[in-house]
Structure 1
Amino acid sequence: MSTSLPIIIPKEQVILKFSPSNPPVQVIKSGSTITFETCDCFSNLIQKEDQLFSSVGWDKINPATGPLFVEGAEPGDVLKVEILKINIADQGVMTAAPKFGVFGDLLEEEKTKVFRIKDGKVLFNERIQIPVRPMIGVIGTAPANEEIPTGTPGQHGGNMDCKRIVEGATLYLPVHVPGALLSMGDLHAVMGDGEVLICGLEIPGEVTIRVSAIKDKILPLPMLREGDHLMAIASAETVDLAAKQATIQMHSFLTNELGMEFNEAAMLLSLVGDLRICQVVDPLMTVRMELPLSVLEDYHYKLV
């Protein structure tokens, strides 16, 4: 009886821009399973507390492992990414730096903190232990005709820093080029909505996914299913604009996929839809609109 070896993309195979010209480092068939090894957002260059954010060059920030070429994925398809497993290291780092994040104008000096993880909890200080909830900060496909830095979110996905992109979630991304060219990185052991400092608990790890090309389906992308919610994710120059865009994307799903009338869909979102901030520290702000999956069940709608 023959057994196939797991397919792994090593952490040394990284990009710093999502681009249609990036050569794929691995090719798999639609429906296959693969593991991405990932560095942290500092390329694993900060290991001690005397190593500061400024010591890491911008050519080393937010590396994303990949890209992966998915056979059969063509422009116009939807790429379905099922997150099967996230493994993380036993320590992570955070940095604070002037001019970055919500506190950037208040910070006077850089600081790095290394946090150990034990028994599934971050040892924050002698009093506080925080349960880990590993998530993927950067995950996306190549845009059609441009290069987008891995630190910037957008319609292609990218640095969305959405804390609901966790083990067990399913993320739907656009396919703009043959093969989709999927890349990911920037894992966090845990992160709050907003990522207000400039980072979560940055940590290396491994992500195992099953990836499939979905034909003849139009969804407002990126879209995420996790727990009891379906989420439309949007990024824009301001939180206000991102919130409006995410809401309109979910509204279009209700009208186009469930067949709801315009005003009815708007009323429903005002009653059961929840706007949540993903992050406010990247070049674009990211917001998600959450809809209870029970609405889909009421309409006997099955998401692909």
Structure 2
Amino acid sequence: MHPMTKQHVIYAMDKNATPSMTVDNGAVVTIETYDCFENQIRSEYQPFHRLDWSRVNPATGPIFIKDAEPGDILAVTIEKIQLIGDATMLTGPELGVLGDDLTENTIRRFPIVNDKLIFSKEIAIPLNKMIGVIGTAPAGNPISCGTPEAHGGNMDCKEIKEGITLFLPVNVSGALLAIGDVHAAMADGEVSVSGAEVSSQITMRLQVVKEKNWPTPSLISEDKIITIASAPTLDEASKIATKNMVQLLTDATRVTTSEAIMLLSLAGDLRICQVVDPNKTVRMELPLQYWSENPFL
């Protein structure tokens, strides 16, 4: 087991970043993460203007994985997400989908009790622990941890949770994986600009996959396969996510391109992950129930 504390953070995914940890292919790693505000918010009454936005969306890392080389795929299996402390949420003018309707900033702190987020005396929301920021270093210029692109990043996909295996591209030697922005709960869209932001401890297994032409980012869960795409518009992201799923289907099964497209129109769900980041993120989900054995492993 390889531990890493949350003091090892970056604010952009960068091929020139110095690794905070080097691990063997197949290693199990446990890391700590700050919440997306780097734990700056301690009270609902804290002055909003004192929030340092340059410290938002820190990611713990980067982690150098031995044997990972450009063209490989990094498989990240999320074994456990342990939440630490209360959750924080905010919204306000010019934030989120309806920022134009708001005239003042609002900060809320939510306790977590018996696997539920206590929103109010009447409303307790079941947890759906998920990772908002996870990615590898891009081959080109650094990309802010707050921006999702083909390398992963701030995808805010609620399906990146315990038990799944996420596939990310390896663009540089060692991959340089970084993770942060864990949510205790978040719905598709993240319309207020934040989920229930919380510090965490994450345990994951890192495996390098060679000689596979899978589209990334993508993931496999117990019951579905998902392709994830981010782009300046939802239309562009939708096209990429769908095209990537078609590629997976034609590569892994015997269906033709036309059949794959028709199958997705019948059984695939195109869903919004988030609409509040510099790029928008969508996912295409396809249940695995149509195959007696998983053809994507």
Q: TM-score range by the shorter chain?
A: over 0.9
Partner of 2:219: 224
Match of 1:193 among 188, 191, 202: 188
- 1:125-149 CA-partner distances (Å, limit 9, x unpaired): 0101111111000000000121100
Match of 2:242 among 226, 239, 247: 247
**SS of aligned partner of 1:251:** helix
Partner of 2:30: 35
Q: CA deviation at 1:240?
A: 1.5
Structure 2 residue 296 is the aligned partner of structure 1 residue 303: yes
**1:140-289 matches, cutoff 5 A:** 140-289=135-284
Q: CA deviation at 1:16?
A: 0.3
User: 2: distance between equivalents of 1:27 and 1:258?
Assistant: 36
| Matched residue type, 1:303 | F
- 1:87-146 CA-partner distances (Å, limit 9, x unpaired): 002311101121111011111011101100111111110101111111000000000121
**SS of aligned partner of 2:248:** helix
- 1:222-248 CA-partner distances (Å, limit 9, x unpaired): 001124110000001111211111111
User: 2: distance between equivalents of 1:238 and 1:227?
Assistant: 30
Q: Which moved more, 1:252-261 or 1:203-212?
A: 252-261
CA RMSD of aligned residues (A): 1.1
| Matched residue type, 1:147 | P
Partner of 1:65: 60
Partner of 1:87: 82
| Matched residue type, 2:142 | E
User: 1: distance between equivalents of 2:243 and 2:251?
Assistant: 12
**1:112-127 matches, cutoff 5 A:** 112-127=107-122
**SS of aligned partner of 2:101:** coil
Partner of 1:3: none
Aligned residues, how many? Answer: 297
**SS of aligned partner of 1:183:** strand
Q: CA deviation at 1:59?
A: 1.8
Identity of aligned residues (%): 48
Structure 2 residue 65 is the aligned partner of structure 1 residue 74: no
Q: CA deviation at 1:302?
A: 3.8
Match of 1:105 among 76, 100, 104: 100
User: 1: distance between equivalents of 2:19 and 2:85?
Assistant: 30
- 1:195-214 CA-partner distances (Å, limit 9, x unpaired): 00000000001110000000
Kept in 2, the 8 Å contact 1:46–1:52? The answer is no
Kept in 1, the 8 Å contact 2:85–2:199? The answer is no
Structure 1 spans left out of the alignment, 5+ residues? 1-5
Kept in 2, the 8 Å contact 1:53–1:97? The answer is no
User: 1: distance between equivalents of 2:294 and 2:29?
Assistant: 29
Structure 2 spans left out of the alignment, 5+ residues? none
TM-score (ref. length: structure 1): 0.95
Kept in 2, the 8 Å contact 1:52–1:111? The answer is no
User: 1: distance between equivalents of 2:48 and 2:226?
Assistant: 32
**SS of aligned partner of 1:81:** strand
User: 2: distance between equivalents of 1:69 and 1:259?
Assistant: 36
**SS of aligned partner of 2:241:** helix
User: 2: distance between equivalents of 1:220 and 1:17?
Assistant: 23
- 1:239-293 CA-partner distances (Å, limit 9, x unpaired): 1211111111101111122232111111111100000100000000000000111
Kept in 2, the 8 Å contact 1:170–1:224? The answer is yes
